[in-house]
Amino acid sequence: MRLHYEVEGEDFLRAGEASAAVKRILKQLGISTEYIRKVAIAMYEAEMNMVIHGKGGEIDVTLTGEKIEITLKDRGLGIPDIDLAMQEGYSTASAQIRELGFGAGMGLPNIKRYSDTLKITSKCGEGTMVYIEVLLK
């Protein structure tokens, strides 16, 4: 099954709604809890990145009994050095965002840790595409 979500940039009140919806669906499908946890953490981090850095965008989810594929396309500035961004503790978040408790530089490393495949493609000025795959079996 396919799911589609629109995410607003900097909308902190609604941030996380897409991952919450997916989480609810996975529970209803009877997916075992360890996988739900992986998806919840990975997708939440990625969705928050879209809200904080990416000026919002779209999330497409493809779900089978075997795996979940989550593609997030944002409208942000893009990531100039993906390897650097993947390092733990590296963050470009503003002081204001850090005040909110985000921007610890653990977003991408956490997504990598909790997903089975992570692909990031980015062009400066054209936004970033994050592809996350989590096996559900």
Partner 1 sequence: MQSHSVTLDKARCIGCTDCIKRCPTEAIRVRGSKATIIEERCIDCGNCIRICRNGAKQAVTDELSLMNQFKYKVVLPAPSLYGQFPKAPNITAILNALYEIGFTEVFEVATASEMITKYIGDYLESAKYFPMISSSCPVIIRLIQRRFPSLMQQVLPIISPMELAARFIKTQYKLRKIDESQVGVFFISPCPAKATELHRPKGIEKSSVDGVFAIQSLYKPILNILSHPSYKGAKRQSGAAGIAWAMQTGGIDEKRIKNHIAVDGLDNVIAILEKVEDGSLNHVTYIEALACTGGCLGGVLNIENAFMSRNTLKKWIDEEEKDTREVLSKYQIQLLQSIPYLFEKDLTPRLVFTLDQDVNRALEKMTEIELLYNRLPHIDCGSCGAPTCRCFAEDVVMQKSNIEECIFILREKIKELSDQMYQLTQTVIPTDSKK
Binding mask 43-62 for partner 1 (x = CB under 8 A): -xx-----------------
For 21, the token pair is: 């919806």
Query: What 3-state DSSP class applies to 41?
Result: helix
Binding mask 59-98 for partner 1 (x = CB under 8 A): ----xxx---------------------------------
Using alpha carbons, list the distances in angstroms from residue 84 to 80, 87, 89, 122, 129: 9, 5, 10, 13, 16
CB 71 → partner 1: shortest distance, Å? 18
CB 115 → partner 1: shortest distance, Å? 13
Separation of CA 119 from chain center: 11
Number of residues that this document lists for the chain = 137
- With CB under 8 A as the contact rule, the residue among 11, 12, 14, 29 that binds partner 1 is 29
CB 111 → partner 1: shortest distance, Å? 11
